[in-house]
Structures are given as C-alpha cells and as structure tokens.
Amino acid sequence: MIGIAGAGKIGAQSALEIASMGLDDIAMVDIIPGLAQGEALDISHRLSDAGIDVDVNGSEDFSTLKGASLVVIAAGMGRKPGMTRMDLLNKNAGIIASVTREVAKNASDSVLLMMTNPMDAMTFVALKASGFPRERVVGQGGLLDNSRFKYVLSKKLGVSRGSITSLVLGEHGENMIPIASHTYVSGVPLTTLLSEEEIQQAIDDTRKVAAEVIAKKGATVFAPGRVVARMAKAIVDDTKEVVPASAYLQGEYGINGICIGVPLKLGKGGIEKIYELKLSDKERDWFNKGADTLREAVSTLSI
C-alpha cells in the first residue's frame, strides 16, 4: 500500500498519477473532514473507466496508513503568487513535524517522499521528526526542476523533449542549479549548441517558471504529481532509477547536516546510493550558496 498524507491539489494529483500506473492500493489521509474520501471516490471513478483495479480510500485517521511501504507527504500550505518557497518555512515546519510523527507511528517501515515546500528544509524536518535513517527520507524537487529545464531547452533549441538528457541539482528554489556541463541533446553537449549567455538565460528561465505558473493559475499541480509518481514507481517496483532528488548529506559534495538535491539511486529501501559529480567552479558556487541558505533556514527550526 502507498500512503498520501495531505489530500489537497498536489496530494490528490499524485494519488491519481500513482493509481493510474497501477502500482499499489492507496490510502489518503487529510484532517479536513471528507476531503480525502471525496478525492478517493473521484479517483476511483476515473480508474473504473480505465479498467484499473486499484483500491483508493480516504480517511482523517492516520492509522489507515498502517502497512504502507511508501508515504508521500503533501500536507501543509501551498505557495501563493509572489511568495518564494522559503517564505513557507515557519508556516509548514510545525505541520510537517506533526504529520511526520503520525506517519512514523503508523507506518514505521515506510519510505517518506516529501513534496511540501520549502521542500529541502521540509525533508530535513521529516527526517528529524520521524527518526528514520536517511535512506528512507527523500524529497522530490530536483526531478521536477529538471522537467522544467527540459521544457525550456526544447523550446529554445526546437528539439524533442525526449532527446534531452539534463540534470538539476542543489536547493529546490531560487538557488537551483541546472547543470549545463552534464546536459546533452542525443549525446551532443549543450555547451556546443548554445552560447554561455544563452545557457544562462535558459537557467534563469527555469528558476522563474514555477512562479509564472503560480501567478497564472494559483498552484503547480500536474508536473509535481507526475514526478512523484515516477519516484514512487522507482521505490515500489525497486527499479534502481537514478534521479535528482533531495537527500541528507553526510560529507558528500563537502556538505554535512542538510538535505539538498543530488543525483541518487532509488529502490525499495529508498535512497540506495548518492552520486558525486564534478561541478564547474560556477556550479559549485551555486551549490554551496543553496547549501548555505538551507543551513541557515534549518538552524532556526525547533523540531
């Protein structure tokens, strides 16, 4: 069984995407009376039309998560127009700590997959509040940022999105690092296709695109839901997929004591391996800047 803690827009979309893959039965939990049940019914009707035999249930009771192998945490307040992800830090830290303790009590052997912003900081909160080993707590931001980088590059280059291999590391926020030195179009290095100025513009556009979506429709929903389902599949089906995601570092990249986006291998037990890449001086500076921001942020929290 897969648990979803938080049945708002992103939690519900994640449940729909995961259920549509037929990965496993789903239990949704939300403190708003009736919300998780209503979303579960709506999703179940959608699955019936598609002929997908997955049970989706909703509840206000965290005990329904008992036995879950994976719990997606999507509780908390969403980002509003004009807000940065970090503006949500104090508002969501207490919520995530409380929700995580309930999840850990009822699904003590699960892997936790964090969605709530500021995602890296909330992944740290979940790690500390749950008491789980670092391998079983992961955050989703890097893969989502990477999908946006691919979109920007496909428009700029006029090529299929499927031909682009790219990578976004670092803080899921204004300090994210689309890694141009490890980006290719069917094996052709991006650095041979675009000038340094054009690459920087693509990076700037990627950093701003989520705010543009929020300004126009109020929230990002579909892309985060899709990314969570992809990560859920890697964990539940033990595919060993390597993705950019948030992990607690213990010396990797010269960083200790925070969660931040790095390339990692996902399997049944969560994070199986963290890969260290050689970064350019500029990329390393951005990575360290994001790490400093996150270190300062979590230092203000009492968990």
Domain harbouring 121, CATH code: 3.40.50.720
For β-strands 241-250 and 256-267, DSSP reports them as antiparallel
User: Which helix (DSSP H) or strand (DSSP E) does residue 59 occupy?
Assistant: strand 56-59
Q: Would you state the pLDDT for residue 81?
A: 75
Give the pLDDT of residue 301: 85
Question: Would 196 be classed as within a structural domain?
Answer: no
The answer to whether position 100 is within a domain reads: yes
Catalytic residue among 150, 172, 207, 230: 172
The pLDDT of residue 90: 83
Residue 53 counted as domain residue: yes
Residue with tokens 């992990």: 247
- Which pLDDT score, from 0 to 100, does residue 175 have? 87
Beta bridge partners of 303: none
Taking the C-alpha atoms of residue 77 and residue 88, their distance in angstroms, rounded to an integer, is 7
Known catalytic residue: 45? no
pLDDT of residue 144: 95
Q: Residue 40 domain-assigned?
A: yes
CB-based contact 288:253 (threshold 8 Å): no
Q: At 8, give phi and psi (nearest 5°).
A: -70, -165
Inter-residue long-range contacts of 267-271, CB under 8 Å, 24+ positions, other chains counted: 267/234, 267/235, 267/238, 267/239, 267/240, 268/69, 268/235, 268/236, 268/238, 269/111, 269/135, 269/136, 270/111, 270/135, 270/136, 270/137, 270/138, 270/235, 271/134, 271/135, 271/136, 271/138, 271/245, 271/247
Instruction: Please check whether residue 121 lies inside any domain of the structure.
Output: yes
pLDDT score recorded for residue 65? 98
Q: At what angle do helices 9-20 and 35-50 cross, to 10 degrees?
A: 30
> How many CB atoms are located within 10 Å of the residue 292 CB?
14
In the chain (303 residues long), the average pLDDT of successive 10-residue segments reads 97 98 97 97 98 97 97 85 73 94 98 96 97 98 94 97 96 91 96 96 93 90 96 98 98 97 97 95 93 92 77
Total domains in the chain come to 1
Residue 213 lies inside a defined structural domain of this protein: no
**Position 277 in a domain:** no
Residue 129 · residue 255 · CB < 8 Å = no
Beta bridge partners of 272: none
Does the residue 21 lie in any domain?
yes
Strands 168-169 and 70-73: unpaired
pLDDT reported for residue 80:
67
Do 111 and 1 form a contact (C-beta atoms < 8 A)? no
> Which domain range does residue 54 map to?
2-141
